[in-house]
């Protein structure tokens, strides 16, 4: 089974723990045999998901929105990105030089082309721009991709991208 992730980057620490537990429950419920997790390895939800997939014995398929993507991440997120990318069984980079709404949208849509299911770590708020969580959820639903939204009771966002 191929499962993609979309979700918020700016999760506080208690929310990070709750989201990790919820993602692991969802992956186990789908059976951990032959799981391929598809992710852009952004900070927050993407990296939580990637670690869960790998720890449960799954494979990681990475879509990189732009060649300058890693440089645009903060130091902690960049280190985690490089570590997780090194464990990926497949890495595909889009031909954009710089990350931004267009490349994020394209990467999200590319992920949806190759999955059976989408996990969305999403508080239900509208997208702030192209390529955001809400937009990818909308496209998944429009394509008939099963969507499982995770937003645990008490979950919070910090309002800034997590480093």
Cβ-based neighbours of 41, under 8 Å, separated by 6 or more = 47, 50, 62, 64, 80, 81, 84, 85
Residue 160, pLDDT score:
62
Cβ-based neighbours of 1, under 8 Å, separated by 6 or more = 30, 31, 34, 35, 36, 116, 117
- 2-150: CATH class: alpha beta
Residue 130, pLDDT score:
85
- In the chain, domain spans: 2-150
* 52 phi and psi angles, rounded to 5 deg: -65, -45
Please give the average pLDDT of every successive group of 10 residues along the chain, which has 163 residues. Answer: 95 97 95 90 97 96 96 93 98 94 96 95 89 95 97 91 45
Residue 162, pLDDT score:
41
Query: What distance in Å separates the CA atoms of residue 128 and residue 136, rounded to the nearest whole number?
Result: 12
State the pTM of this model.
Answer: 0.94
Residue 163, pLDDT score:
39
């Amino acid at each position: 089974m191929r499962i993609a992730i979309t979700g918020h980057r700016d999760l506080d620490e208690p929310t990070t723990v709750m989201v990790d537990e919820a993602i692991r429950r969802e992956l186990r419920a789908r059976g951990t045999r032959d799981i391929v997790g598809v992710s852009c390895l952004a900070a927050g939800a993407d990296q939580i998901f990637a670690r869960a997939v790998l720890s449960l014995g799954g494979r990681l398929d990475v879509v990189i929105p732009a060649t300058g993507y890693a440089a645009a991440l903060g130091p902690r997120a960049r280190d985690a990105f490089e570590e997780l990318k090194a464990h990926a069984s497949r890495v595909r980079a889009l031909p954009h030089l710089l990350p931004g709404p267009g490349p994020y949208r394209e990467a999200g849509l590319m992920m949806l082309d190759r999955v059976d299911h989408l996990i969305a770590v999403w508080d239900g708020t509208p997208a702030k721009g192209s390529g955001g969580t809400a937009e990818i959820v909308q496209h998944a639903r429009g394509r008939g991709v099963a969507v499982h939204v995770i937003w645990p009771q008490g979950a919070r966002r910090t309002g800034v991208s997590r480093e």
